[in-house]
Amino acid sequence: MTESTPARPTDTAVRRTGPGRSEPGRSEAGRQVRPATEGWSQKKDAEGRPMLQFASPKRGKPPVHLADLTPEQRVEKVKELGMPGFRAKQIEKHYFRHFTSDAAEMTDLPAAGRDELIAGLLPPLLTEVRRLETDRGDTIKFLWKLHDGALVESVLMRYTGRITLCVSSQAGCGMNCPFCATGQAGLTRNMSAAEIVEQVVRANRLIADGGLGDPRKVGHEGERVTNIVFMGMGEPLANYARVMQAVRTMVDKDHGIGMSARGITVSTVGLVPAIQKLTKEDIPVTFALSLHAPDDQLRDELIPVNSRWKVDEALDAARAYFDTTGRRVSIEYALIKDMNDHAWRADLLAEKLNARGKGWVHVNPIPLNPTPGSIWTSSEPDVQNEFVRRLNEAGIPTTLRDTRGKEIDGACGQLVATEDDQRAADTVPTA
Ligand code: SF4
């Protein structure tokens, strides 16, 4: 939700809970269910239902790229471009392992026809508009312009022992979550599989060139992105086919980047049929359900897609994912001050998770990062701690996540192209 002047939730109907203030045994009638918050109104469609955009608006398609094609299609494409099929393997190696799209660097390809071949297989997809660094260079946010001028972002973060890239899967998002900066701008379009993969390739190139973290430190040779989280712009499961094609390329050891599927986290706000489809894929990615509320009364408003698939249906689908894959599910929970951070909601969440068995789930509460001009802000530290304590006490492993990238608006729910970004993008010619 964006407003011209920042407002704060009114506290009249809001009962704060926290250490010493919680009343978990309170009757349902006494619970605060929906905060009386000024300025909180959900966007509705013509029939009065919560606004949701599943279909991608029609726009010019991005050029077809190596990473959009199956290995067999790549061979065919190389032949179409007048070269023997085995050249496809060489180009895969240059792109996925050496992170280059530059024909001049591919000296093992014949000089005659090389430029045309590479132009046909590795067309430019992302033009870098801006790069912002924080955490002494350990966190970098990229603003990319796509071929049609749409803007997307990705955030690269170095942690001890791993490098994580938060990727976008759509330009904008159609899920209309009121606390999320991306959701407020609506869906511009789905990204292609190659546009998703290219974010990883470009990040790997930057790492290989020593661009992440302190360049004086040694021992980073051979480093590359180890973890991918689909928590940038977009709802990944609303762009299912392209996201899965991108994931297949990320994990393909012979024809792709060769990452571990376990290092890839696909998240969703709860598109249940798509979760069921993901469960049947033979790719053991980590699955994260962005729940944000354990009760339908609140979740219907916080996560409009809850009007289609309710909390219990989403949790059942998450549990089924664990049953089939053996991969422990993550529940993401943005802690929003006076909205969803009540002790009774922590208890209810624990109850619902425990009702579906033990050892299958982990909860990651994350303090919400306020959107500029928004009424939505993060819970107080004592409330956060109490929320986590209650879940842990109920036997649900729970870890408060850090909010890396906060300073550069690169944390979850904060990736959105601003007017300033748009102005910067307008000055950059599309590749
Ligand atoms: S929270 Fe996720 S699903 Fe909801 S609007 Fe934002 S990007 Fe979309």
Along the chain (431 residues), what's the average pLDDT of each consecutive run of 10 residues? 30 32 40 55 79 86 96 97 97 97 96 96 97 88 94 91 94 89 87 98 95 71 91 95 98 97 95 98 94 94 93 98 96 91 97 98 88 75 97 97 59 58 73 65
CA of 325 to the centre of ligand 1 (A): 25
Spell out the residues 6+ positions from residue 266 whose beta carbon is closer than 8 angstroms to its own.
Answer: 230, 236, 237, 243, 247, 278, 285, 286, 287, 288
CA of 421 to the centre of ligand 1 (A): 20
Q: Please spell the DSSP secondary structure of 160-216, one letter per residue.
A: TTEEEEE--SEEE-SS--TT-HHHHT-EEEEPPHHHHHHHHHHHHHHHHTT-SS-TT
What per-residue string of b and e applies to 283-302 under the rule 16 or more CB within 10 Å gives b?
Answer: eebbbbbbbbbbbeebbbbb
Q: What per-residue confidence (pLDDT) applies to 428?
A: 74
- 180 Cβ closer than 6 Å to some ligand 1 atom: yes
C-alpha distances out from residue 78 to 6, 56, 74, 116, Å: 55, 30, 6, 10
Which of 51, 168, 170, 173 for a ligand 1 pocket mutation test, highest count of atoms within 8 Å of Cβ? 173
Catalytic site positions: 153, 412
- 269 Cβ closer than 6 Å to some ligand 1 atom: yes
Q: What per-residue confidence (pLDDT) applies to 37?
A: 52
CA of 116 to the centre of ligand 1 (A): 40
Token pair of 96 as six digits: 């996925």
Instruction: Using DSSP bridges, classify how beta strands 170-172 and 187-190 pair: parallel, antiparallel or unpaired.
Output: antiparallel
Q: What per-residue confidence (pLDDT) applies to 34?
A: 56
From the list 27, 45, 36, the residue with the least C-alpha distance to 8 is: 36
- 152 Cβ closer than 6 Å to some ligand 1 atom: no
Which atom in ligand 1 lies closest to the alpha carbon of residue 233? Answer: 7
**DSSP-derived secondary structure letter, 51:** P
**Residue identifier of the C-alpha nearest atom 4 of ligand 1:** 177
Which atom in ligand 1 lies closest to the alpha carbon of residue 269? Answer: 3
CA of 408 to the centre of ligand 1 (A): 18
From the list 151, 339, 162, the residue with the least C-alpha distance to 265 is: 162
Residues found in the chain = 431
Q: What per-residue confidence (pLDDT) applies to 378?
A: 85
SS3 134: strand
